[in-house]
Amino acid sequence: MMRLIGGSAVAVVVMTLFFGGLYPLVMTGFASVAFPSQAQGSLIKRDGVTIGSRLAAQAFTSPKYFMERPSATSPAYNAAGTTFENYGPTSPALAKLVADNAKAVLKLEGPYNPGLTIHDVPVDAVVTSASGIDPDISPAYAQLQAHRVAAVRHLPLATVQKLILQNTDGRWLGVFGEAGVNVLELNLALDKETGK
């Protein structure tokens, strides 16, 4: 029995040092050499300033930018406090959230999309994402917003649509998952196009 206790104590220490120390240290060393940008969180810099990460949504309110999906985090798009909304499928709170968000989308996009009705609003525009920092919107939601962004920026619609296409991540290998438009990268590309 004493041998069992002693052996267990030794094993616990050895395993903690190996799997809790050596393994993550070696992986971190490898990451910093082989994939320095990814290892640090895929941060994006502009004019020397870190403006966000390509893997996290951030708040856009100005009409010259594409908008992100709704977020349940507090404050919205909190990349250090991710969470779901957790409204049940029949919950009145969900009904209100959807109605409010749809109304906001119609108000914002309506003037630039004549004849726009709630039936044209893609579902991802009105419900929260799972992470609260979903960096993507559906291509459908991007197309809806393209008219506004083109008009506000005095750009041809075709240019904006070209930028959407350039910043769309398709399905992996063309098969797995779904296509999404990276909003932060798209907005950066727009700023670059119009000289900020």
Partner 1 sequence: MGEGIFQIVLFVIILIAAAYPVGLYMARVYEDDNFLRRGRLRFLGSAERGFYRLVGSRAEREQTWQQYGANVLVFSLFFVFLVYAILRLQGHLFLNPQHFKGVPSHISLNTAVSFLTNTNWQYYAGESTMSFLSQMGALAVQNFVSAAVGMAVLIAVIRGFTRRSSKNLGNFWRDLYRSLVYILLPIAIIGAVVLISVGVPQTFHSYAQATTIQGAHQTIARGPVASQVAIKHLGTNGGGFYNSNSAVPFEAPGSFGGYFELFLELLIPFSTLFMFGRLIRSMRNALAIFAAMFALFATGVGVNYVAEQHGSAVLRSSGVNITQGNGQTGGNMADKEVRYGLAETAVFTTGTSMTSTGAVIAGHDAMTPAGGAVPLVNIFLGEVIFGGVGSGLYGMIFILVLAVFVAGLMVGRTPEYLGKKIEAREVKIAALGALFPGVLILTLAAISMVTKSGLASIYNPGAHGFSEALYAYTSQAGNNGSAFAGYGATSFSAYLGAIDMFFGRFVPLIAALALGGSLAAKRTVPASAGTFKTDGATFSVLLIGMILLTAGLMVFPALTLGPIVEGLMH
Residues 100-119 that bind partner 1 (CB under 8 A): 102, 117-119
Give me the least distance between CB of 158 and partner 1, in Å please: 17
Nearer to partner 1, 3 or 154 (CB): 3
Does 186 help bind partner 1 (rule: CB under 8 A)? no
Task: Indicate which single residue of 104, 110, 189, 191 sits in contact with partner 1 (rule: CB under 8 A).
Answer: 191
- Using DSSP, state whether 96 is helix, strand or coil: helix
| Dihedral, CA of residue 154, residue 156, residue 158 and residue 163, to nearest 10 | -40
Give me the least distance between CB of 17 and partner 1, in Å please: 9
Contact between 127 and 100 under an 8 Å Cβ cutoff? The reply is no
Q: 94 burial class (0-12, 13-18, 19+ CB within 10 angstroms)?
A: middle
Separation between Cα atoms, residue 35 and residue 31, nearest integer Å:
5
Residues 115-154 that bind partner 1 (CB under 8 A): 117-143
Name the one residue in this structure whose structure tokens are 């749809």: 102
| Dihedral, CA of residue 104, residue 105, residue 111 and residue 116, to nearest 10 | -120
Task: Indicate which single residue of 160, 163, 184, 186 sits in contact with partner 1 (rule: CB under 8 A).
Answer: 184
Give me the least distance between CB of 111 and partner 1, in Å please: 19
Give me the least distance between CB of 151 and partner 1, in Å please: 19
Nearer to partner 1, 11 or 158 (CB): 11
Q: Is the dihedral of CA 127, 133, 134, 139 positive or negative?
A: positive
Does 86 help bind partner 1 (rule: CB under 8 A)? yes
Does 172 help bind partner 1 (rule: CB under 8 A)? yes
- x-or-dash pattern for partner 1, window 18-57, by CB under 8 A? -xxx-xx--xx-xxx-xx--xxxxxx--x--xxxxxxxx-
Instruction: Give the DSSP per-residue string, 19-82.
Output: IIIIHHHHHHHHHHHH-HHHHTT-EEEETTEEEEETTS-----STTS-------SSSTT-TTS-
Nearer to partner 1, 15 or 156 (CB): 15
Does 193 help bind partner 1 (rule: CB under 8 A)? no
Nearer to partner 1, 9 or 158 (CB): 9
